[in-house]
Structure formats: structure tokens, C-alpha cells
Amino acid sequence: MSINRVVISGNLTRDPELRSTPGGMAVLNLGVAVNDRRKNQQTGEWEDYPNFIDCVMFGSRAEAVAKYLAKGTKVAIEGKLRYRSWENQQGEKRSKVEVAVDDLEFMSSRDSASAGSRQAYDAGPAPDLPSDDEIPF
């Protein structure tokens, strides 16, 4: 038995990229920075070390949340790890592990100063995500 669940929270490292597959399914690519705290052995001070995580979200929900996300937005993400490999234009093999997003929660606005006056994040009930059979791996 194996468990493939990931929960992370952090800030978006870039503006999300929304595109569509040839079949018309929406695909939203996100980058999330997640800090790890470690004690510096020389200074004795705690320091943050960033980890940069690629995330991908599919379907109508990806379209719905894309307009509310921007670089710097703090989010919490739950999903599963997914391995992907491809060949680039130069014929080199590439691969990466990314988080396939099942659930995304907004933890801040793009301008935190006006977060109290904004209600733009209330996009209504979350649309259904596609099943694993419908996700183009």
C-alpha cells in the first residue's frame, strides 16, 4: 500500500499560466515557494531556505481560480505527486515531479493591504475536478 498526498502552503512564484489541451481541457500551471527553516551551524540563527514546487490544476475549476491568482498570492494546496517526462526540441529527455492539485485555498490577496475590502475570492462552490481517467498524464 502507498499513499500519495501532498499538502503545502506558500506564495506563488510567478503569475499562473492558463492554457488548454487539444481536447479543450483547461490546464493551470503554478509555481509555489515553500520555506524550510534550518539552524545555521556557524551563526546559530534560524534561516529560511526556499523550495520551489511546480503545481498543475485541471478542468473548469482551474479556469475559475486562475483569474484570482497572481505572483505573490499565498495559497494552501492539497494534491498528489505526479511524475512527468518528455523530450524537448533539442531531443533531450526531461522529467519532473509536480503536484497535481485537488484543492486550492486562498490565504491572501495579491495586495494584502486591500484584502479586507476585497471579496473577489468568493467564486461560489468549487466546480467538480476531472477524475484520474480524464487527466492527461
For residue 83, name the pLDDT band (cuts at 50, 70, 90).
very high
| Other residues' Cβ atoms within 10 Å of the Cβ of residue 135 | 16
Mean pLDDT to the nearest integer, 38-50: 93
For residue 69, name the pLDDT band (cuts at 50, 70, 90).
very high
For residue 109, name the pLDDT band (cuts at 50, 70, 90).
low
Looking at the domain 6-37+47-114, which fold is it?
A: OB fold (Dihydrolipoamide Acetyltransferase, E2P) (2.40.50)
Determine the pLDDT at residue 73.
95
Q: Is 123 helix (H, G, I), strand (E, B) or coil?
A: coil
For residue 1, name the pLDDT band (cuts at 50, 70, 90).
confident
| Other residues' Cβ atoms within 10 Å of the Cβ of residue 57 | 27
Contact partners, residue 71, CB within 8 Å, separation at least 6: 12, 13, 14, 15, 110
Find residue 75's DSSP bridge partners: 10, 106
Instruction: Decide if 98 contacts 82 (C-beta within 8 A).
Output: yes
Give me the chain's average pLDDT, please: 84
